[in-house]
Amino acid sequence: MGCMLAAGQYYPNTAHPRDYWAAMEEDRKSYFFIDVQARGEYPNYAKKQWERERIEIQMTAEDLELLKDNTVDFVSFSYYASLVASGDPEVKELTAGNIFASLKNPYLESSEWGWQIDPLGLRITLNAIWDRYQKPMFIVENGLGAMDTPDENGHVADDYRIAYLEAHIKAMRDAIYQDGVDLLGYTTWGCIDLVSAGTGEMNKRYGFIYVDRDNAGHGSLKRSKKKSFYWYKDVIASNGASIE
């Protein structure tokens, strides 16, 4: 039995302690649900917040026993990008994002939708989750949303997606063989182009298979394999050996 976490490590905007604290608080917002499911109890930081906000959770001794006795066997999560947090109220106002609020990281490149591309961040996230829970993990979503444009022959040469996935698979491999994390498996997002849950756009494409459809609903729905399809097929067949 597992669970699902939308993961992405927060970095402090500066070395100022208040930025470090802000990053830790943002991480706690993500980890809270898994803290309960993986540890079998509500974390103290959440209990204190509820006290401050005068929120009372009705729980019986039987409820607490059920939580303790039914923790997850593994932690599954999605990873697309790392994020940046600030404790400065004026700087914090500059954050933006269609799912998670984040400042721009000047050391990273971004996707066309502003998601910061950070393969090392995946390795950091794997280590953070492993250190926190000591439970096997499963990466169930990882991919790059991009404006794929077919050429005159209908072929999509999405080398940028290949580069993204290859770098993240390498980071995953480093986390396993160099850091010793327990990773059960990895699945990309996604197999085929579909409407983005984050922005509601068809043009924000993640798939290995191109679907002829645009944001306005125009297109034949014809499907064609992108360059990344054949690349990832080789990755699977070689169990990653095709990635140096």
The residues annotated with a catalytic role in the active site are 141
Q: Tell me the residue type at 59.
A: M
CB atoms within 10 A of CB 216: 8
Token output for 198: 């984050």
User: Residues near 197 by Cβ (< 8 Å), separated by ≥ 6?
Assistant: none
The whole-angstrom separation of Cα 126 and Cα 115 is 19
Phi first, then psi, for residue 155 (nearest 5°) are: -95, 140
Token output for 140: 């169930």
First vs last C-alpha separation in the chain:
34
> CA torsion sign, 198 to 200 to 205 to 209?
positive
Phi first, then psi, for residue 23 (nearest 5°) are: -65, -40
Q: Which is nearest to 231 in space by CA: 140, 141, 138, 165?
A: 165
Q: How far is CA 18 from CA 76, 86, 95, 156, 180, in A?
A: 30, 7, 16, 45, 31
Token output for 44: 């103290």
